[in-house]
Amino acid sequence: MHLNEAATNLFIFWSALPLGMPSMSTRVTISPVSRPQQDWAKHEKQHRTIIVIDYLRATLISRTDPEIRRYRARTAPVEIKILYILLGAWLLVSIAYTQLIAIKINFGLAFNLISILVLGLIAGFMYWLVNRGDITLAGNLMASTLIILTGVGILLSPEDLYIMSAGFPLAIMAVGAIVGGTSVYPFAGLSFVVLILCWFRAQSVVVDQGGGLDDISGAIFLSTQAIAYLGLAALLHTLSRHILRSINKLHSQTDQLTEMALTDPLTSLANRRHLIEQLECEFTRAHRYRRPLTLIYIDMDGFKSINDRFGHLFGDEILRGAALAMRAVLRSADLLARIGGDEFSVLLPETDLEGGRRVAKKLRKALSAYSQRLDPVIPPLSFSAGVGQLRREDKSIDDLIARADNAQYRAKEAGKGQIRTQHEIDQLPLFEPQTPNTVK
């Protein structure tokens, strides 16, 4: 957010505060005898100040999106290495300059060596912060260190102002590459302020030594540096926004592709892949905690005749309506999926075999109610359902699927609108819910 917009919002926010509070710029005169009133006014003033500080913090400090934070956590180590390569080249040039070109040196070589040692320690600490996920702190620390070392270096060796000032753009690049967002602007401004102070310091030192710096050249140098710092900050901010938009776009496309891969396009129900994935998860959970898990297989009765008589487009409309009617009577934790042309399946966590039978009856009633709203020339809709429950002996979801499918086949043989359970196929023990007294 720009500073002008932030100032405008702050003014509006300040104006919206209760009128009973005294203004920060207004002198409050309270009688010495009204001590409780004086304490109340002091408390209200402190409370108002805290509110304003919190508002400024929320307005001016950019929030990092979780997606961009993960992206920066992956790229931060590489960016740190690149920045330190550039920094090393800059220090080597600075050392060569102080040894081969500079006529008078004020602690130039010693300071560069100390800077290399300090930056090496900071680099190790930054890698530790990055591994902990403190990307913002790592970037701010590196930028602050570069600004401080550059400023101190110029103060110690003012004649090296022009070559030492290259550390300021490196600081802006560091915070822009690692942290991103609007954080580059405060560091760009801080770098320019430190550069101005160092310039006046260098000018006074040169004057004391009998020389002088051209004011016009100094103005040109400072102006070009200000433009360069602001331009670099704007470029990094724009790049950061572009990266964030690209990540959000990719995230949105990924969500759409995932939804398409797990959703039946005709009925908007879960498809077979989604059912299998969810069944795997519930199968593992039910086995681990010995909880009941039930699966229903459904096959519409005589649906082929509707397609043959009224056409597939009409049949698709019937399937969509039937899916909506059945999904409306299920819990949010239940999963209704279309696994074939006119075949459906229902996954029922925390439901035993008898509960699964009751759900199947409820679905049959919902389908019958939907069928009664259709044209009388359409045959009544019904289905045959098989209900299976997880057993202790099950090794995979295939065992549960096989029993539910087998029970559905038996229901189909018995006639239209029938429901069969695996109890009618075998009498093997089922998973029963454990009470707290039975948990080992």
pTM over 0.85: no
Q: Are residues 123 and 178 in the same domain?
A: yes
Token pair 């405060």 in the structure block, residue: 186
DSSP state of 339: -
The total domain count for the chain is: 3
Q: Are residues 77 and 210 in the same domain?
A: yes
In the structure, what pLDDT confidence band is assigned to residue 65 with cuts at 50, 70 and 90?
Answer: low
Mean per-residue pLDDT of the chain: 78
Give the model confidence (pLDDT) of 174-187 as tens digits: 888 888 888 899 99
Sort residue 162 into left (φ over 0), alpha (ψ -120 to 50) or beta: alpha
Would you list the DSSP string of 101-157? T-SS-SSHHHHHHHHHHHHHHHHHHHHHHHHHT-HHHHHHHHHHHHHHHHHHHHHH-
Res 396 pLDDT > 80: yes
Res 399 pLDDT > 70: yes
Given this model, what pLDDT does residue 66 score?
Answer: 64
Q: Are residues 306 and 225 in the same domain?
A: no
Q: Are residues 205 and 224 in the same domain?
A: yes
- Answer yes or no: is 411 within a domain: yes
Q: Looking at per-residue confidence, does 59 or 394 come out higher?
A: 394
Among 29, 44, 60, residue at a domain's last position: 60
Q: Are residues 308 and 411 in the same domain?
A: yes
Q: Are 224 and 192 in contact (CB under 8 A)?
A: no
C-alpha distances in Å from residue 328, one per residue of 322, 331, 367, 384 = 10, 8, 11, 19
Res 197 pLDDT > 60: yes
Average pLDDT of span 372-390: 93
Q: How many CB atoms lie within 10 A of CB 260?
A: 10
Q: Are residues 133 and 279 in the same domain?
A: no
Q: Are residues 206 and 337 in the same domain?
A: no
Q: Are residues 349 and 302 in the same domain?
A: yes
Give the model confidence (pLDDT) of 11-34 as tens digits: 444 444 444 444 444 444 444 445
Q: Are 201 and 159 in contact (CB under 8 A)?
A: no
Q: Are residues 279 and 230 in the same domain?
A: no
Q: Are residues 151 and 7 in the same domain?
A: no
User: What is the domain-level CATH number for residue 299?
Assistant: 3.30.70.270
Q: Are residues 82 and 223 in the same domain?
A: yes
Q: Are 385 and 408 in contact (CB under 8 A)?
A: yes
In the structure, what pLDDT confidence band is assigned to residue 384 with cuts at 50, 70 and 90?
Answer: very high
Given this model, what pLDDT does residue 199 score?
Answer: 85
Alpha-carbon span 168 to 233, nearest angstrom: 12
Least confident of 4-8, 18-22, 175-179, 189-193: 18-22
Q: Are residues 27 and 81 in the same domain?
A: no
